Structure 1
């Protein structure tokens, strides 16, 4: 069975992918984390984001079609999803308290 289609990129991520090299050229020696910060500043300052928003909408539509086809062909809605950390059942913690009644009974001492 084929894998579930990957989610489409947001308008910002599409733009950042295209702008990353220019940001590097404009800021020689910039770190990867700084590229993301600079990209965020430039994105917020942009007046017209419609080009990227339209591309994101098109990708989202295509993704929706691919997911529907995937599910029609027997794919599960949960396929490819990672289990969240909160979904795991926590193991009960053992008490290490030396003054507990259980420890007193095992050692033959009684508590008052």
Structure 2
């Protein structure tokens, strides 16, 4: 198995509402989606954002789209208007999650584009 960054098998979008960040992750195909289900858990996402996400992280599977959605609570130090962070929005969370390293099997196509 190869250790790869999530960006090699998936794409993502994120946004925010108040103090909550939403991250949608889309696998490139069915075999990559199976890897995502195994490797990209709510616990791993919470650990990846250690120090940034203080609340619960919930994962929702969307199998018909080969996608998953993460809702990260307590992710913006109070929200856009309350945060002292330089970047107080959730738009950057998807790009950051793409650096998560996962174990990909040999059957996974690493050229997602």
> Shorter-chain TM-score: what band?
under 0.3
**Structure with the higher strand share, 1 or 2:** 2
**Structure with the higher helix share, 1 or 2:** 1
Q: Highest CA radius of gyration, 1 or 2? A: 1
- TM-score, normalised to structure 2, is 0.24
- TM-score, normalised to structure 1, is 0.24
